[in-house]
Amino acid sequence: MKRIALLGATGSIGRQTIEVVESHPGLELVAAASGSQSIEGLAPLTQVGGDLVPLLERARPDVVLNAVVGFAGLPATLWALENGVDLALANKESLVAAGELALAAQRRGGGLLLPVDSEHSAAFQCLEDRPPETVDSLVLTASGGPFRGRARDELQEVTPEEALAHPTWNMGPKITIDSATLANKGLELIEAHFLFGLPYERIEVVVHPSSVVHALVRFRDGAALAHLGYPDMRVPISFALTYPERAATRIPPLDFASGLRLEFHAPDVETFPMLTLARRAGEQHGTYPCAFNAANEVAVAAFLDGRLPFLAIAEVVEETLAAVDGAPARDLDELVEADASARSLAQRSLAVA
Ligand code: NAD
Ligand code: MG
């Protein structure tokens, strides 16, 4: 029996995780947490809001599935890595913000870090633990979101409702907006850098509207391996929770007879500058990725509240990145300080936007 602690149990990933756990006799929920909704009875230990570390200490799970949204997921990520408890990670923001600290904690703890993000789960499977020097480059696919193909001036007036209508994935509101701005792919670029130890110039992003190819790895011998499947998060969730078993799921296999189309294009970085901003923040290292994430969280919340136009999300992030010092964080306190300082700069930039 694998004993699982599920954090963010009421969200999109959380609910799909419950389905996976319920359909697999070898998986058991021992603890669950949500941000605000009641989850009484979902697991022997449950918690709504508050500090998740004491819950994890009490539950002592075999696997933590972290599906909290945003920087709030960081303490749980670090707890699992530090304590050698396997971490199934959906909460990409924690790894983006705290990449170096997280990897150092994992080296000390010695547990597995299994990506739940579909692209990274795909890349992890294509890579099969091969060393980075055998890899030519990693390709992350992006659906392009609801505004793919639009020009900048057509995005002036878009509303949260329009931005929330994602063409291929049904997800929580924050990541859906991130998909519309391409910030999500920017976060994933940084996430991939930390997960797979590849420099940024060897990680490419391509737009692939049908979201069937999740990632692709080009090897130095000229071969490229791709991972395909219908867009359904239960596949990477199940892979991470049952690793290395690759348990059966009820997801239908790919049907080529129905006319699958695999198209790939370069992303339009003029219209969607968040991808370039993320790449630059990643390349600057230090706490620049943390600041990118913090400013994005502030700007997305303001957009969802109707307080900020869609195109100003990238402006707030760009201004914040230009204003932070970006110095590396030696410990969690310094990282939390970098996050807070980026948030207050982003708030200031919101006020004048
Ligand atoms: P969501 O908004 O649907 O759910 C978020 C969950 O986190 C909810 O259960 C909420 O109660 C909980 N939460 C929020 N703040 C919390 C706090 N301070 N403490 C405890 N719990 C808190 O979000 P989602 O779409 O499920 O995404 C969750 C994470 O997974 C995000 O990091 C997202 O980027 C990542 N992810 C999601 C998908 C997807 O398909 N939804 C795909 C890949 C990665
Ligand atoms: Mg993804």
For residue 302, what are its two tokens? 């303001």
Residue 166 is predicted with a pLDDT of 86
Residue 170 is predicted with a pLDDT of 86
Residue 303 is predicted with a pLDDT of 98
Residue 114 is predicted with a pLDDT of 98
Q: How far is CA 119 from the centre of its chain?
A: 9
Atom of ligand 1 nearest to the CA of 187: 34
Ligand 1 pocket mutation, candidates 6, 7, 10, 13, criterion most atoms within 8 A of CB: 13
What is the distance in A from the centroid of ligand 1 to the CA of 172? 6
Q: What is the DSSP letter of 40?
A: T
Q: How far is CA 232 from the centre of its chain?
A: 15
By the CB criterion, residues less than 5 angstroms from ion ligand 2 are 117-119
Residue 163 is predicted with a pLDDT of 97
Paired residues of 219 in beta bridges: 135
Residue 53 is predicted with a pLDDT of 98
Atom of ligand 1 nearest to the CA of 171: 41
Please give all residues whose beta carbon lies within 6 A of any atom in ligand 1, as ranges.
8-14, 33-36, 49, 67-69, 72, 90-93, 117, 169, 171-172, 174-175, 233
Nearest CA to ligand 1 atom 6: 8
Give the H/E segment covering residue 303: helix 288-304
Residue 290, judged by CB atoms within 10 A of its CB (0-12, 13-18, 19+), counts as buried
Atom of ligand 1 nearest to the CA of 14: 26
Residue 353 is predicted with a pLDDT of 75
Residue 259 is predicted with a pLDDT of 86
Nearest CA to ligand 1 atom 17: 35
d(CA 138, CA 200): 10
Nearest CA to ligand 1 atom 12: 8
Nearest CA to ligand 1 atom 32: 91
Residue 258 is predicted with a pLDDT of 87
Q: Which long-range contacts (CB under 8 A, 24 or more apart) does 307-312 make?
A: 307/350, 308/350, 308/353, 309/156, 309/157, 309/353, 310/155, 310/156, 310/158, 310/163, 310/180, 310/181, 311/152, 311/155, 311/156, 312/353
Ligand 1 pocket mutation, candidates 171, 195, 339, criterion most atoms within 8 A of CB: 171
Per-residue pLDDT of the chain (353 residues; tens, 9 = 90+): 999 999 999 999 999 999 999 999 999 999 999 999 999 999 999 999 999 999 999 999 999 999 999 999 999 999 999 999 999 999 999 999 999 999 999 999 999 999 999 999 999 999 999 999 999 999 999 999 999 999 999 999 999 999 999 888 889 999 999 999 999 999 999 999 999 999 999 999 999 999 999 999 999 999 999 999 999 999 999 999 999 999 999 999 999 998 888 999 999 999 999 999 999 999 999 999 999 999 999 999 999 999 999 999 999 999 999 999 999 999 999 999 999 999 999 999 999 87
What is the distance in A from the centroid of ligand 1 to the CA of 92? 10
Nearest CA to ligand 1 atom 39: 171
The answer to whether the beta carbons of residues 9 and 76 sit under 8 Å apart is no
